[in-house]
Structure formats: C-alpha cells, structure tokens
C-alpha cells in the first residue's frame, strides 16, 4: 500500500536552511511542515496531510494536496 502512495525520501539542497527561512508560509507553519513543503516543491508533487495549515500552504504554493 505504501508503494501506491508514491512516498519517497527527498534530499534537502545545500541551501535548505536559507530556503526554509524565507518560505512565505514559514511564519504560520512549524519547522517540520516547512520541510515537507520544501521537499514537495523540489519534486513538484502532491502532499498528503490532515493538517489544514499545511494543506493551505501547499495549495498557496501552487502544489496539490493528495486526496483533494
């Protein structure tokens, strides 16, 4: 079942700290959620979440929330 969700590990880039600090959603999200957003942005893929704040940030970043 996990394989069907296309879950994968994503290496963060060398400039991840700077990119995380400058994410527009950074003030409203917790750091782990910012990492999820950055990783999804890198691979231009959907995010699976039950968190409304993260889902909103994902959508506003032009990405898809899995299950929408």
Three-state DSSP string of 11-37: CCCCCHHHHHHCCCCCCCCCHHHHHHH
Residue 13 has pLDDT above 60, yes or no: yes
Evaluate whether residue 34 is within a structural domain: yes
The answer as to whether 51 is a domain residue is: yes
From CA 32, how far away is CA 13, in angstroms rounded? 15
Q: Is residue 19 part of a domain?
A: no
pTM over 0.85: no
Q: Which domain holds residue 60?
A: 28-68
Number of domains in the chain: 1
Q: Is residue 54 predicted with pLDDT exceeding 90?
A: yes
Question: 11 in a domain, yes or no?
Answer: no
Residue of 29, 27, 35 lying closest to 51 (CA atoms): 29
The pLDDT value given to residue 9: 84
């Amino acid at each position: 079942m996990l394989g069907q969700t296309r879950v994968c590990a994503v290496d963060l880039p060398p400039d991840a700290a700077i990119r995380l600090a400058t994410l527009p959603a950074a003030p409203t999200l917790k750091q782990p959620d910012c990492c999820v957003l950055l990783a999804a942005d890198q691979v231009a893929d959907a995010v699976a979440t039950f968190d409304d704040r993260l889902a909103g940030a994902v959508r506003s970043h032009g990405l898809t929330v899995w299950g929408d």
